[in-house]
Amino acid sequence: MSESSLRVVWVYPDLLSTYGDQGNVLVVERRARRRGLTVDRVDVRSDERVPTSGDIYLIGGGEDRPQRLATERLRRDGGLERAAGNGAIIFTVCAGYQIVGNEFINDLGEREPGLGLLDVASTRGTEDRCVGDVIADIDERLGLPQLTGFENHQGITHLGPGVRPLARLRMGRGNGTGDGTEGAWQETVFGTYMHGPVLARNPQLADLLLKLALDVNALPPIDDRWYEALRAERMAAAVQPG
Protein backbone atom coordinates (compact mmCIF):
# COMPACT_ATOMS: atom_id res chain seq x y z
CA MET A 1 0.00 0.00 0.00
CA SER A 2 3.05 2.28 0.07
CA GLU A 3 2.28 3.62 -3.42
CA SER A 4 -1.29 4.61 -2.49
CA SER A 5 -2.22 8.17 -1.65
CA LEU A 6 -5.13 9.71 0.19
CA ARG A 7 -6.55 13.23 0.18
CA VAL A 8 -8.15 14.17 3.50
CA VAL A 9 -10.17 17.39 3.70
CA TRP A 10 -10.98 19.12 7.00
CA VAL A 11 -13.93 21.41 6.31
CA TYR A 12 -14.10 24.85 7.92
CA PRO A 13 -11.87 24.41 10.99
CA ASP A 14 -12.36 28.14 11.69
CA LEU A 15 -16.11 27.62 12.25
CA LEU A 16 -16.62 23.95 13.06
CA SER A 17 -14.03 22.56 15.45
CA THR A 18 -15.47 22.36 18.96
CA TYR A 19 -14.94 19.70 21.64
CA GLY A 20 -11.73 18.43 20.07
CA ASP A 21 -13.28 17.35 16.77
CA GLN A 22 -10.13 18.33 14.90
CA GLY A 23 -8.70 15.21 16.50
CA ASN A 24 -10.71 13.19 13.99
CA VAL A 25 -8.67 14.43 11.04
CA LEU A 26 -5.44 13.88 13.00
CA VAL A 27 -6.43 10.26 13.70
CA VAL A 28 -7.35 9.53 10.08
CA GLU A 29 -4.13 11.12 8.85
CA ARG A 30 -1.94 9.26 11.37
CA ARG A 31 -3.55 5.86 10.82
CA ALA A 32 -3.16 6.23 7.07
CA ARG A 33 0.49 7.26 7.33
CA ARG A 34 1.27 4.37 9.66
CA ARG A 35 0.16 2.07 6.84
CA GLY A 36 2.59 3.65 4.43
CA LEU A 37 0.05 5.84 2.66
CA THR A 38 0.94 9.24 1.31
CA VAL A 39 -1.56 11.68 2.81
CA ASP A 40 -2.42 15.07 1.35
CA ARG A 41 -4.26 16.90 4.12
CA VAL A 42 -6.22 20.00 3.13
CA ASP A 43 -7.64 22.35 5.79
CA VAL A 44 -10.32 24.45 4.08
CA ARG A 45 -11.29 27.66 5.84
CA SER A 46 -14.74 29.15 5.37
CA ASP A 47 -13.45 31.79 2.92
CA GLU A 48 -11.98 29.12 0.64
CA ARG A 49 -13.48 26.80 -1.93
CA VAL A 50 -14.11 23.20 -0.92
CA PRO A 51 -12.13 20.95 -3.29
CA THR A 52 -14.09 18.25 -5.04
CA SER A 53 -11.20 15.80 -5.43
CA GLY A 54 -10.91 14.67 -1.79
CA ASP A 55 -11.21 11.07 -0.65
CA ILE A 56 -12.36 11.70 2.95
CA TYR A 57 -14.08 14.86 4.22
CA LEU A 58 -14.47 15.56 7.94
CA ILE A 59 -16.75 18.16 9.52
CA GLY A 60 -16.89 18.90 13.24
CA GLY A 61 -19.25 20.57 15.66
CA GLY A 62 -19.85 24.26 16.24
CA GLU A 63 -22.02 26.80 18.00
CA ASP A 64 -25.35 27.87 16.52
CA ARG A 65 -24.25 30.99 14.63
CA PRO A 66 -21.09 29.44 13.12
CA GLN A 67 -23.23 26.46 12.11
CA ARG A 68 -25.59 28.74 10.16
CA LEU A 69 -22.72 30.63 8.53
CA ALA A 70 -21.01 27.37 7.57
CA THR A 71 -24.21 26.01 6.05
CA GLU A 72 -24.84 29.13 4.01
CA ARG A 73 -21.30 29.08 2.64
CA LEU A 74 -21.34 25.37 1.89
CA ARG A 75 -24.62 25.73 0.00
CA ARG A 76 -23.20 28.57 -2.10
CA ASP A 77 -19.95 26.70 -2.68
CA GLY A 78 -21.45 23.38 -3.76
CA GLY A 79 -18.11 21.58 -3.53
CA LEU A 80 -19.10 19.15 -0.79
CA GLU A 81 -22.20 18.03 -2.69
CA ARG A 82 -20.12 17.47 -5.82
CA ALA A 83 -17.57 15.50 -3.82
CA ALA A 84 -20.36 13.32 -2.41
CA GLY A 85 -21.61 12.77 -5.94
CA ASN A 86 -18.11 11.60 -6.84
CA GLY A 87 -18.32 8.96 -4.09
CA ALA A 88 -16.19 10.69 -1.46
CA ILE A 89 -16.44 9.56 2.17
CA ILE A 90 -17.99 12.24 4.39
CA PHE A 91 -17.86 11.94 8.18
CA THR A 92 -19.67 14.56 10.25
CA VAL A 93 -20.12 15.31 13.95
CA CYS A 94 -22.85 17.23 15.80
CA ALA A 95 -23.39 20.54 13.95
CA GLY A 96 -21.74 18.97 10.91
CA TYR A 97 -24.23 16.09 11.16
CA GLN A 98 -27.14 18.52 11.09
CA ILE A 99 -25.63 20.53 8.23
CA VAL A 100 -25.49 17.55 5.85
CA GLY A 101 -29.12 16.72 6.61
CA ASN A 102 -32.21 18.18 5.00
CA GLU A 103 -32.81 20.97 7.53
CA PHE A 104 -32.24 22.16 11.10
CA ILE A 105 -33.28 25.05 13.34
CA ASN A 106 -30.69 27.84 13.21
CA ASP A 107 -29.67 30.42 15.80
CA LEU A 108 -32.46 32.72 14.62
CA GLY A 109 -35.08 30.08 15.38
CA GLU A 110 -35.71 29.54 11.68
CA ARG A 111 -35.66 26.39 9.56
CA GLU A 112 -32.31 26.32 7.76
CA PRO A 113 -31.97 24.16 4.64
CA GLY A 114 -29.11 21.70 4.90
CA LEU A 115 -27.11 20.08 2.12
CA GLY A 116 -29.41 17.08 1.76
CA LEU A 117 -26.62 14.51 1.83
CA LEU A 118 -28.31 12.58 4.64
CA ASP A 119 -32.06 11.99 4.82
CA VAL A 120 -32.44 13.48 8.30
CA ALA A 121 -34.08 16.60 9.73
CA SER A 122 -33.14 18.23 13.02
CA THR A 123 -35.10 20.35 15.45
CA ARG A 124 -34.17 21.86 18.78
CA GLY A 125 -35.23 20.08 21.96
CA THR A 126 -37.10 21.88 24.72
CA GLU A 127 -35.71 19.73 27.53
CA ASP A 128 -32.23 19.73 29.07
CA ARG A 129 -29.22 19.32 26.81
CA CYS A 130 -28.03 15.84 25.99
CA VAL A 131 -24.72 15.76 27.84
CA GLY A 132 -22.68 12.73 28.84
CA ASP A 133 -21.04 9.54 27.73
CA VAL A 134 -22.51 7.41 24.97
CA ILE A 135 -22.13 3.69 24.39
CA ALA A 136 -23.86 2.21 21.37
CA ASP A 137 -23.90 -0.88 19.17
CA ILE A 138 -22.96 0.10 15.63
CA ASP A 139 -25.06 -1.04 12.68
CA GLU A 140 -24.23 -4.69 12.07
CA ARG A 141 -23.69 -4.00 8.38
CA LEU A 142 -20.60 -2.01 9.29
CA GLY A 143 -19.11 -4.87 11.29
CA LEU A 144 -17.45 -2.89 14.09
CA PRO A 145 -17.34 -3.18 17.89
CA GLN A 146 -19.34 -0.97 20.23
CA LEU A 147 -18.92 2.76 19.85
CA THR A 148 -18.02 5.12 22.66
CA GLY A 149 -18.21 8.91 22.66
CA PHE A 150 -19.36 12.04 24.45
CA GLU A 151 -22.46 14.01 23.48
CA ASN A 152 -23.24 17.66 24.20
CA HIS A 153 -26.15 18.96 22.16
CA GLN A 154 -29.78 20.00 22.26
CA GLY A 155 -30.68 18.75 18.83
CA ILE A 156 -33.32 16.19 18.00
CA THR A 157 -32.64 14.46 14.71
CA HIS A 158 -35.33 12.44 12.94
CA LEU A 159 -34.20 9.83 10.42
CA GLY A 160 -35.91 9.51 7.07
CA PRO A 161 -36.40 6.31 5.08
CA GLY A 162 -33.22 6.90 3.09
CA VAL A 163 -30.82 6.35 6.02
CA ARG A 164 -29.97 3.76 8.62
CA PRO A 165 -29.09 4.53 12.24
CA LEU A 166 -25.35 4.53 12.73
CA ALA A 167 -25.82 2.78 16.07
CA ARG A 168 -28.31 1.64 18.72
CA LEU A 169 -27.89 3.12 22.17
CA ARG A 170 -26.91 1.30 25.31
CA MET A 171 -26.18 4.56 27.12
CA GLY A 172 -26.91 8.17 26.22
CA ARG A 173 -29.58 9.98 24.23
CA GLY A 174 -28.13 9.98 20.74
CA ASN A 175 -30.52 11.44 18.19
CA GLY A 176 -32.77 12.59 21.04
CA THR A 177 -35.94 11.09 19.61
CA GLY A 178 -36.34 8.42 22.29
CA ASP A 179 -36.16 5.61 19.72
CA GLY A 180 -32.72 4.45 20.84
CA THR A 181 -30.87 5.54 17.72
CA GLU A 182 -27.56 7.40 17.43
CA GLY A 183 -26.37 9.05 14.26
CA ALA A 184 -27.14 7.98 10.72
CA TRP A 185 -25.42 6.77 7.59
CA GLN A 186 -26.31 6.63 3.93
CA GLU A 187 -23.92 5.06 1.43
CA THR A 188 -20.68 7.02 1.99
CA VAL A 189 -22.03 9.78 4.27
CA PHE A 190 -21.94 9.37 8.06
CA GLY A 191 -23.24 11.53 10.90
CA THR A 192 -23.01 11.26 14.68
CA TYR A 193 -23.46 13.39 17.79
CA MET A 194 -20.43 11.80 19.44
CA HIS A 195 -17.36 13.85 20.26
CA GLY A 196 -14.35 12.48 22.08
CA PRO A 197 -12.90 12.88 19.46
CA VAL A 198 -14.94 9.94 18.30
CA LEU A 199 -12.31 8.49 15.95
CA ALA A 200 -9.69 8.47 18.70
CA ARG A 201 -12.10 6.57 20.93
CA ASN A 202 -13.06 4.25 18.08
CA PRO A 203 -10.02 3.63 15.87
CA GLN A 204 -11.74 0.88 13.91
CA LEU A 205 -14.31 3.43 12.77
CA ALA A 206 -11.45 5.55 11.41
CA ASP A 207 -10.14 2.45 9.65
CA LEU A 208 -13.57 1.87 8.12
CA LEU A 209 -13.39 5.31 6.50
CA LEU A 210 -9.95 4.45 5.14
CA LYS A 211 -11.10 1.11 3.74
CA LEU A 212 -14.09 2.72 2.04
CA ALA A 213 -11.95 5.48 0.56
CA LEU A 214 -9.34 2.99 -0.70
CA ASP A 215 -11.97 0.42 -1.74
CA VAL A 216 -10.24 -2.41 0.12
CA ASN A 217 -11.56 -5.05 2.50
CA ALA A 218 -8.66 -4.94 4.95
CA LEU A 219 -5.76 -2.77 6.07
CA PRO A 220 -2.32 -3.84 7.32
CA PRO A 221 -2.40 -4.24 11.12
CA ILE A 222 -0.79 -1.60 13.33
CA ASP A 223 -0.06 -1.37 17.04
CA ASP A 224 -3.34 -0.23 18.61
CA ARG A 225 -2.45 -0.65 22.27
CA TRP A 226 -2.70 3.07 23.02
CA TYR A 227 -6.04 3.46 21.27
CA GLU A 228 -7.48 0.35 22.89
CA ALA A 229 -6.31 1.50 26.32
CA LEU A 230 -8.06 4.85 25.83
CA ARG A 231 -11.17 3.11 24.55
CA ALA A 232 -11.29 0.69 27.50
CA GLU A 233 -10.70 3.50 30.01
CA ARG A 234 -13.51 5.66 28.61
CA MET A 235 -15.99 2.77 28.43
CA ALA A 236 -15.19 1.73 31.99
CA ALA A 237 -15.58 5.30 33.23
CA ALA A 238 -18.94 5.63 31.48
CA VAL A 239 -20.50 2.76 33.40
CA GLN A 240 -19.09 3.68 36.81
CA PRO A 241 -21.88 4.52 39.26
CA GLY A 242 -22.23 8.15 40.29
| 195 given a catalytic annotation | yes
Distance CA 30, CA 175 (A): 29
Q: Which of 94, 130, 153, 158 is catalytic?
A: 94
94 in catalytic set: yes
174 in the Ramachandran plot: left (φ > 0), alpha (ψ -120 to 50) or beta? left
CA-CA-CA-CA torsion sign (169, 172, 174, 178): positive
Cα–Cα distance for residue pair 156/128, rounded to 1 Å: 12
The one-character DSSP state at 197 is -
Q: Which amino acid is at 15?
A: L
Q: Please state the separation of Cα 81 from the chain's center in Å.
A: 16
d(Cα 186, Cα 117) in Å, to the nearest integer?
Answer: 8
Which residue in 130, 153, 158, 195 is the catalytic one? 195
> What residues act catalytically?
94, 195
